[in-house]
Amino acid sequence: MPIRPPHRSGDDPHPDLAPVAFLLGTWRGEGTGEYPTVARFGYAEEVRVGHVGGRFLTYAQRTWAPDTGLPMHAEVGYLRPGGPGRVELVVVQPSGITEVDEGTVVGTSITVSSRAVGHTSTAKEVTAVTRSFVLTGDSLTVSLSMAAVGHPLTGHLTAVLRRTN
Amino acid sequence: MPIRPPHRSGDDPHPDLAPVAFLLGTWRGEGTGEYPTVARFGYAEEVRVGHVGGRFLTYAQRTWAPDTGLPMHAEVGYLRPGGPGRVELVVVQPSGITEVDEGTVVGTSITVSSRAVGHTSTAKEVTAVTRSFVLTGDSLTVSLSMAAVGHPLTGHLTAVLRRTN
């Protein structure tokens, strides 16, 4: 008999995920990027947040050029409750970067900062990251600041997304 | 007009991916796990390796209990060429672990070791990981050793997979 992966939809999220369950869904929208080393740019973004019954959310993001549709960035990871009011986010980027981020969830606002950033030998050096996910009405504002290639923590990306499902 | 993500299939893999392109596909099979702290156990595994046109492979793995179908483990990441004969693998686990792994590709054999393992405040402490992916005929053997919770680098997981597509 062929090996088949289990059916995974239909379960309720783990009860410990209640404080962060507002992130569940597929979100799309547009954003703006800037950094001291690059010209200001626009992008389209999709963020997918799901669960598989365990005590974590799955996170997958990708961006593309609004005009050409060409892929720009992508990243994947997991979001974990870290105790009352606390959130842990682990993220990996195809540029060879890993992040261990920790912070708070207050209402529908999550803010995390890196406690460790890893990078492969050929990756650009990113030394710190701060991320936020803030739901206001129907709009999820996703922001990222980073310290990289010698610059201190500086605003880099902000996008406003809406749930598509 | 609604924002839609770009169509991403149909592109050829980036030419730099040729040495690791043997991993492309969806692989399934069964494995065995052991560690000084746990009883020997069996698992079913799926590994999906893809590309989106960029200079990296996407990697997604999950395991489940062969008898009940209940999810056991999952992880996601990216595999990058790191120069001639070199491979970089960044992986993130829902248990709150990040890995920056580096090593070699020789023929259809990839072996990488962690140069950095990150973990969130509530994660178990894993201090080192070695992974291998070896294609022999139609069989992809996937192995993982780890140093964790005070034990030195010790064999933990081995599975034999076959391509399903």
Q: Is residue A30 part of a domain?
A: yes
Q: Indicate whether this model's pTM tops 0.90.
A: yes
The answer as to whether A139 is a domain residue is yes
A16 residue type, one letter: D
Give percent above pLDDT 70 in chain A: 94
Residues A155 and A103: their CA atoms lie apart, in Å, by 18
Residue A64, CB-side half-sphere exposure with 13 Å CA sphere: 18
Segment B95-145, tens digit of pLDDT? 999 999 999 999 999 999 999 999 999 999 999 999 999 999 999 999 999
Structural domain for A131, as ranges: 15-163
- What is the number of domains present in chain A? 1
In angstroms, rounded to a whole number, what is the distance separating the alpha carbons of residues B116 and A37?
Answer: 27
User: Six-digit token pair at A3?
Assistant: 């090996």
Distance from CA of B29 to the nearest CA of A (A): 6
Which CATH number goes with the domain that contains B77? 2.40.128.20
* Mutate which: B9, B93, B121, vs A, most A CBs within 10 A: B121
What pLDDT score does A2 carry? Answer: 56
Tokens of B71: 């999810």
Written as six digits, the tokens of A36 are 């001291």
The minimal CB distance from B82 to the residues A7, A99, A121 is found for: A121
Q: Interface pTM (ipTM) of the complex?
A: 0.93
d(CA A12, CA B146): 33
Nearest to A52 among B66, B71, B100 (CB): B71
What integer pLDDT is reported at residue A1 of this predicted model? 45
- Domain membership of residue A60 (yes or no) is yes
At A11, the pLDDT band (50, 70, 90 cuts) reads: confident
CB-based contact B54 A71, cutoff 8 Å: yes
Q: Strand, coil or helix: what is A5? A: coil
Cβ atoms B110, B48 nearer than 8 A = no
Specify if B4 maps to a domain.
no
CB A73 within 8 Å of CB B54:
no
**Two tokens, residue B88:** 């970089």
- How many CA atoms are closer than 13 Å to the CA of B12, on its beta-carbon side? 5
Place of tokens 């080192």: B128
